[in-house]
Amino acid sequence: MAEKGLKWNNLGHTATYGMRGLFGRIHSAEIVTRFNRIQALRAAKWFKIAGKGLGLLSTGFYVIEGLQAYNAGDNAAVGKAAVNATMTLVMTFGGIPGIVIGGIYFVGDAYGFWDGPAGDMSNPFPNNVTRIDNTYVTPPIIHY
């Protein structure tokens, strides 16, 4: 039986318990892996902070858009800006479900599921663009 504070691991070595867990033989590859994991978690923390900041910035733009629409008397645009700001907050702070819900909303909004497409999608070419077709198709030798 092992003494108090010692544990026999599967490699046949004893290791002592410390404040941060089980300390045994640590190979250099394990140290590098742990260091990389710590560095990745630190970077992920900053990406999370930056993402939330950009989400709040985007929400601020929608609020300004809604205030401008309110001053112009366009109630439909005020409602649209309010829904966009709300969905941006849901995406920013809602975790994975918020990203899914907000993503469905904004992709559907881009395709015009709620209030029609963003522009005239019937003709992809403007009227002032002339299309030149210099394609010549040789007639077949054998006619069907």
User: Is residue 22, in this structure, part of any structural domain at all?
Assistant: yes
**Full-model pTM:** 0.56
Q: Which of 54, 74, 78 is nearest to 64 (CA)?
A: 78
pLDDT per residue over 58-109, tens digit each?
Answer: 999 999 999 999 999 988 889 999 999 999 999 999 999 999 999 999 988 8
DSSP string computed for 62-119: HHHHHHHHHHHT-HHHHHHHHHHHHHHHHHHHSHHHHHHHHHHHHHHHHTTTTT--SS
Residue 84 lies in a domain: yes
- Number of domains present in the structure of the chain: 1
Range of the domain at 96: 6-110
Look at residue 122 in the predicted model and tell me its pLDDT: 61
Q: Does residue 30 fall inside a structural domain?
A: yes
Per-residue pLDDT, 119 = 57
Would residue 120 count as lying in a domain? no
Rounded mean pLDDT, 39-52: 88
